[in-house]
Structure 1
Amino acid sequence: MTRKQQGYIYLTLAMTTVGSTVIASKLISAGLPPFTATALRFAVAFPCFMLLMRLTGGRLPKLSRHDWIILVIQAAAGSVGYTTLLISGLSMTSAANAGVIIGTLPVVSAGISILLLRERPDRFLLLAIGLAAAGVFSIVLAPGAGGGSLRGDIVIFGAVLCEGLFILLNKRLKTEIAPLVQSTLMTAIGFCAAAIPAVFESHAFPTASSAALLSVVYYALVPTVAGFMLWYAGAERVSGAEASLFTAIAPVSAVIFAFLLLGEPVGLHQIAGIGCVLAAVLGLALNGRRRRPA
């Protein structure tokens, strides 16, 4: 097996774990409040990241006040905002719908860059945005189908916007931070940010279900820690353009898991939605690959 083929396997596994977070979040939403679950996720993941830093010799660089502010906002939006909104949304809508919506992340991130960074879009990017929008509308305009709800779908899209903001803010950092160090910081800051509101929501769920607690541990250890290791092990073996293609696996695996593990029906509107989202993500990645040599 070649080094590149190993990279493809690692990236596939990494994005499959990302898709599985939708299922884990669906189970968590039935047994734990969102901020409590998010704080527990980071509490479990943080020691693992600290151990990885110790084993690899990772060190925190000297950061300016500007970078610390960016990191705190990133953790609040991408770590806490994304997780809590995903869990909250899945208490109202289906995992299959959520899988389609989170698949729009690469395109949403590009759209945010256009709006906030004034980046000039080309026709391929505009086409990708249009396809992703069509994919989302295909499920939003079918309220109640397959257990989905418009309100829940909107909350899930809010989670995607938070993650898109996280990616945008990463471009604003003045100091280069190693991915492992940044992930460790995100879990630490995210825990602090989620723990405060978690104290005030504990009355909503006096007793947590075992399925929810196990799902939190799974979310922390597999998609968060193992998914991180798999992604970067794969990304160092292939080009950036090739790695970006594998993001399309996440929404597909989420929809498949929703059908196989949760028994959710997958209708034509969801199949059409995932098709549009896949076309948008793959088109965006291939366009980036085409432009890079120039």
Structure 2
Amino acid sequence: MNSRYIGYMCCALAMVGVGSTVVVSKSIAAGLPPFSATALRFAIAFPLFVLIMRWRGVRWPRLDRRDAALVVAQAAAGSVGYTVLLISGMKLASAGDAGVIAGTLPAVSAVVAMLALGERPSPALLGAIGLATAGVLACTVRPGESAVPHAGSSSILGNALVFAAIVCEALFILLNRKLRTPVAPLPLSALMCGVGFAVSIVPACFERAWSMSLDAGALSGVLYYALVPTVAGFVLWYEGAARVSGAEAGLTTALVPVSALALAALLLHEPVSAAQLAGVACVLGAVTLATFGQTRSTRKAA
């Protein structure tokens, strides 16, 4: 099989895994407190990343105090903040809505870079931001819907928590760009899991999850989250990204909202609304514009 097709397949599978985190977080939220689930996720994934590092002969990076502080901030925002807010949001929001919101990450990252670094966006990025905003509004703003959820409904508060999780992931991307010592993806992923566990374990102890009745579905969800989207997703993404261009890999992020919406319908039996389909269409357009806008900016800089 052609190497590029293998690359497309690996990146696509990785993004389907990311989309599935929205659905699996629904079952986790029903049976475990958010910090406890987050700490357990990293406790499972961290030793696996360490084993992969040893297998590949990858060493830990040497960081100065400034970069070490940035890594801790990255883990607090992109690892702990993202997971805790996503799980908390999934107690209130529908998985379909959350999947559409998760797909806005490229546009949200562009906005964060504009606000924090003063970057001037290209017309394509401005269009992506506008489309992503329209996609979120299509799923969130519904006439007559209360912020407090009722049975079977989505929630404005839940969607807001999911969007806050995406902002945390965008902050992770921004902080990674601020590192003076570049860290390779594999040790960075291991660091995020290790530091993420250290950050989440203290608030997890206050949740006293061990005093609750164990929920098999929630525990299985955490195990899946740690093994498939976290560890296997890393391997698939970087294996695929090594075979295709950055723009081609970036376009596969469009599969996040599509897979989340499809899995929510198939596994959770959530109805797919016209508003959600409109939101997905807007987000797909936003991903396309953001990817090509970034590619053009890179070419101009070169």
State the TM-score bracket (shorter-chain normalisation): over 0.9
Structure 2 Cα separation of the partners of residues 70 and 220 of structure 1: 23
Q: 1:277 aligns with which of 283, 286, 290?
A: 283
What does 1:101-140 correspond to in 2, within 5 Å?
101-140=101-140
Query: What amino acid is aligned across from residue 88 of structure 1 in structure 2?
Result: S
8 Å Cα contact 2:28-2:218 kept in structure 1: yes
Structure 2 Cα separation of the partners of residues 277 and 203 of structure 1: 37
8 Å Cα contact 2:45-2:227 kept in structure 1: yes
Structure 1 Cα separation of the partners of residues 210 and 219 of structure 2: 16
Over aligned residue pairs, what C-alpha RMSD do you find? 1.4
* Aligned residue-pair number: 294
1:91 maps to what in 2? 91
Name which of structure 1's ranges 139-148 and 16-25 shifts more when overlaid on structure 2. 139-148
Counterpart check, 1:180 vs 2:156: no
TM-score, normalized by length of structure 1? Answer: 0.97
Q: 2:265 aligns with which of 259, 263, 277?
A: 259
User: Structure 1 residues 65 and 291, CA, compared in 2 at 3 Å: closer, same or farther?
Assistant: closer
8 Å Cα contact 2:63-2:181 kept in structure 1: yes
Deviations 1:190-209 (A, max 9, x none): 00111100011126971120
Structure 1 Cα separation of the partners of residues 298 and 187 of structure 2: 28
8 Å Cα contact 2:33-2:209 kept in structure 1: no
Give aligned-pair identity as a percent.
54
Any unmatched runs of 5+ in structure 1? Answer: none
Q: CA deviation at 1:291?
A: 4.5
Structure 2 Cα separation of the partners of residues 125 and 111 of structure 1: 9
Query: What amino acid is aligned across from residue 60 of structure 1 in structure 2?
Result: W
1:166 maps to what in 2? 172
User: Structure 1 residues 199 and 127, CA, compared in 2 at 3 Å: closer, same or farther?
Assistant: same
1:74 maps to what in 2? 74
8 Å Cα contact 1:82-1:160 kept in structure 2: yes
8 Å Cα contact 1:31-1:205 kept in structure 2: no
**Regions of 4+ moved over 6 Å:** none
Query: What amino acid is aligned across from residue 278 of structure 1 in structure 2?
Result: L
Q: CA deviation at 1:284?
A: 1.3
Q: CA deviation at 1:61?
A: 2.1
Name which of structure 1's ranges 138-147 and 46-55 shifts more when overlaid on structure 2. 138-147
Structure 2 Cα separation of the partners of residues 72 and 293 of structure 1: 32
Q: CA deviation at 1:289?
A: 3.2
- SS of residue matched to 1:253: helix
Query: What amino acid is aligned across from residue 104 of structure 2 in structure 1?
Result: T
TM-score, normalized by length of structure 2? Answer: 0.95
Structure 2 Cα separation of the partners of residues 235 and 92 of structure 1: 35
8 Å Cα contact 2:39-2:196 kept in structure 1: yes
Query: What amino acid is aligned across from residue 257 of structure 2 in structure 1?
Result: P
Counterpart check, 1:147 vs 2:153: yes
